[in-house]
Structure 1
């Protein structure tokens, strides 16, 4: 199969138009069209349905596009490895993690990483969906469970728990609950149990909701929960790492917490020698060590 024709096919499938693909490839529309026809003839199949408003992939075209997408991501990974300098850390690094961890723990610390490596370009993708690292949807992932995908290097960073927090102002105005039954006199701020989140956090919310909570505020990420809590709206279910950035938060019902949630860092085996990945991995590891030290000190004091 002609690699150059596959490259042109991929551009057309990606752009949905001969004209737009030609602009990207610096080829005329007629030249792109000829190459697509030649590829279809060599495969003895039709790859596109042609409509006035653009091109739509046929079933066979979809299969070929899946293959060229995988090829493109592999080539991108190889290119990234080749560009890695022996002495410098530069270029783009795509990092994915959850909305809560990314906004509450990781983003506030990135200034220290940029101080060490000012030429680094980080694309921080915050979402609950687990991106496919072997397929190069991201370079590095930080997740609240051990990755199940093969061909990944993984490192357990720490364990976290979900706990109940409120501000002193809220508690002074509404009282401090002494038992779970007292929660029925307070507003609960949390993610809805059905929202994508760590299972132990969802179970904790379900257990609290069994106490006939009169008023709730559901937010689909922990950043929103935190913002509501620090603005004195109620008692919130938050990860325990929240208190480092907001030490004014008061833990409520000290014996109520979720099970341990493991935090893992993972990246593809093929990026084992990437300078960017190594710099990010070492940075996160150092920050975790510092966080543990301060977290343990605050708990013991």
Structure 2
């Protein structure tokens, strides 16, 4: 390669790429953890080095110029190469110090991870844990997390996964709430009960219908897409909700709500990027999670 032909600062190319993908200098500064004026100066310096305008400054922010559009794919290739280099280097580390990011749902992050992480910290105090709370799948290839707790097996060839167990979710309510509705003994008798829906698609309503419990919209006065908040609503006697039985059965503030309800089973997978599995630090965290969650 003729290195003299590379006449720009690669760090400035990163500032251009992140600004283009995030849509503004302020968003890019947050993503890069740099001051906004610093990112702006890096982009302007790259424009000067390349001799082209990459963005048009508008009243609402920045817009890519035709030249910026033309160079963006090349910058993305550089970004992918840098990310692959970072992952490969991270995976070679034998040091039991540093940060590991774990992605998990709000319910697992709130109720299952804390005792596991406390034991891990006692054994390996040099490892710092970031808990990435998300009910969506974190992109491990883009280093949104190093390890993810998921309910689906990954299909990407660069990811590895270990199935930990099959979990079961069932319905719970506060004892006072069940007393107020007369503690129905049969599933079909719950037509006057209040339920807390878990998403905008009516998943809980459909799940109950498949088990012969046909309810109306009036049975779902609440909808909450955050399981931790939904669980607190259940604990405070606002209605019936569904959660992993490992969490629900351990909570003395609730009890199983519906006799005859067949628990819903789903798998628990632990996932990591293949390149990072050579890291001793990640292996220690991965194994600790596998033991605690299994």
**Number of residue pairs the alignment of both structures matches:** 274
Q: 2:180 aligns with which of 155, 173, 182?
A: 173
Q: 1:267 aligns with which of 254, 265, 272?
A: 272
Q: 1:125 aligns with which of 129, 132, 136?
A: 132
Matched, 1:251 2:256: yes
Cα displacement (A) at 1:184:
1.1
Q: Distance in 2 between matches of 1:68 and 1:56?
A: 21
Q: Distance in 2 between matches of 1:96 and 1:215?
A: 33
Unaligned runs of 5+ in 2: none
3-state SS of paired residue (1:96): strand
Q: 2:14 aligns with which of 10, 13, 26?
A: 10
| RMSD of Structure 2 on Structure 1 (CA) | 3.3
Q: Distance in 1 between matches of 2:252 and 2:72?
A: 52
Cα displacement (A) at 1:124:
1.3
Q: Distance in 1 between matches of 2:288 and 2:274?
A: 19
Q: Distance in 2 between matches of 1:209 and 1:63?
A: 52
Distance 1:259 1:32, change over 3 A: closer
Cα displacement (A) at 1:8:
2.0
Q: Distance in 2 between matches of 1:252 and 1:97?
A: 26
Any conservation in 2 of the 1:166–1:235 contact (CA below 8 Å)?
A: yes
Summarize deviations over 1:193-252 as a string: whole Å, max 9, x none: 527xxx7x6742554773236442211122112101111112212221222541442112
Summarize deviations over 1:111-158 as a string: whole Å, max 9, x none: 222212222222211112212222322211111111111121110011
> Normalising by structure 1, what TM-score?
0.77
In structure 1, what is the equivalent of residue 57 of structure 2? Answer: 51
Q: Distance in 2 between matches of 1:52 and 1:214?
A: 48
Distance 1:169 1:67, change over 3 A: same
In structure 2, what is the equivalent of residue 204 of structure 1? Answer: 207
In structure 2, what is the equivalent of residue 154 of structure 1? Answer: 161
